[in-house]
C-alpha cells in the first residue's frame, strides 16, 4: 500500500496527476485536484528514437547527449567574457542640455516655433526639451546639434564614472573603494 501524496490516505493503485507543474501520486479521491498524467508504455519509449538496431540507437543517444553537454559547456564558457549592453553604445546627453538648447536658440534670435519650423519638428517638442521634460531622440538631437552648432553629447559621463571600469573578479575593487560616506 502506498500513501496518497495529497491527503495521506492509503491506496493500492495510486494515479499520477500534475498539480501546478508538480507530479504527484494520489488516491482516486484526490485526482480532481489536478490533471491526470498518462504514463507511456515502456515499449513505445524504447523504440521512439531507435534506428533499427539497439546498439546504434544506444550510440546515437550517447552521442547526442555528449554533443548537448559540449554545447552547454561552450555556452557557459562564453559567460566569462564581458557582456555588451545596449546602453554601452548610446551617447549620453550633457546634464544641462535644456539650457544649452535654449541659450543657443536665443543666441540665434529664434523663437521656439521658428526653431521647430527650421528642424521640421513640433514647437511643443522644442518647449518640452527646453523645459527638460523630455529627452530629444537621437534624430532630433543631431538636428539640434547641426542647426544650433552645439554639442549635446557628454564625453564619457562624469569623472567618477570614467574612473570605474567595472572592477574584476580578481578583487581589485571592493564596495568600500566605491562608496562615499556622508559623515
pLDDT computed for residue 89 by the predictor = 62
pTM of the model: 0.40
d(CA 95, CA 152): 9
The better pLDDT of the pair 67, 20 is held by 20
Cell numbers for 49: 528514437
d(CA 107, CA 16): 79
Which domains are seen in the chain, by residue range?
A: 2-36 (no CATH), 96-155 (1.10.260.40)
User: Band of the pLDDT at 169, cuts 50, 70, 90?
Assistant: low
User: Any residues with CB less than 8 A from the CB of 162 and at least 6 apart, and which?
Assistant: 156
Cell numbers for 36: 491526470
Amino acid at each position: 500500500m502506498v500513501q496518497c501524496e495529497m491527503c495521506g490516505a492509503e491506496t493500492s493503485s495510486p494515479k499520477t496527476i500534475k498539480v501546478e507543474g508538480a507530479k504527484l501520486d494520489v488516491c482516486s479521491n484526490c485526482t480532481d485536484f489536478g490533471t491526470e498524467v498518462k504514463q507511456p508504455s515502456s515499449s513505445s519509449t524504447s523504440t521512439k528514437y531507435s534506428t533499427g538496431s539497439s546498439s546504434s540507437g544506444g550510440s546515437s543517444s550517447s552521442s547526442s547527449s555528449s554533443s548537448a553537454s559540449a554545447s552547454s559547456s561552450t555556452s557557459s564558457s562564453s559567460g566569462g567574457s564581458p557582456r555588451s549592453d545596449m546602453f554601452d553604445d548610446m551617447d549620453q546627453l550633457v546634464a544641462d542640455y535644456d539650457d544649452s538648447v535654449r541659450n543657443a536658440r536665443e543666441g540665434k534670435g529664434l523663437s521656439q516655433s521658428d526653431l521647430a519650423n527650421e528642424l521640421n519638428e513640433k514647437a511643443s517638442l522644442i518647449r518640452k526639451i527646453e523645459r527638460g521634460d523630455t529627452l530629444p531622440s537621437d534624430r532630433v538631437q543631431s538636428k539640434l546639434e547641426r542647426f544650433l552648432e552645439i554639442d549635446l553629447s557628454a564625453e564619457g559621463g562624469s569623472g567618477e564614472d570614467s574612473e570605474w571600469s567595472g572592477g574584476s573578479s580578481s578583487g581589485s575593487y571592493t564596495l568600500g573603494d566605491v562608496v562615499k560616506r556622508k559623515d
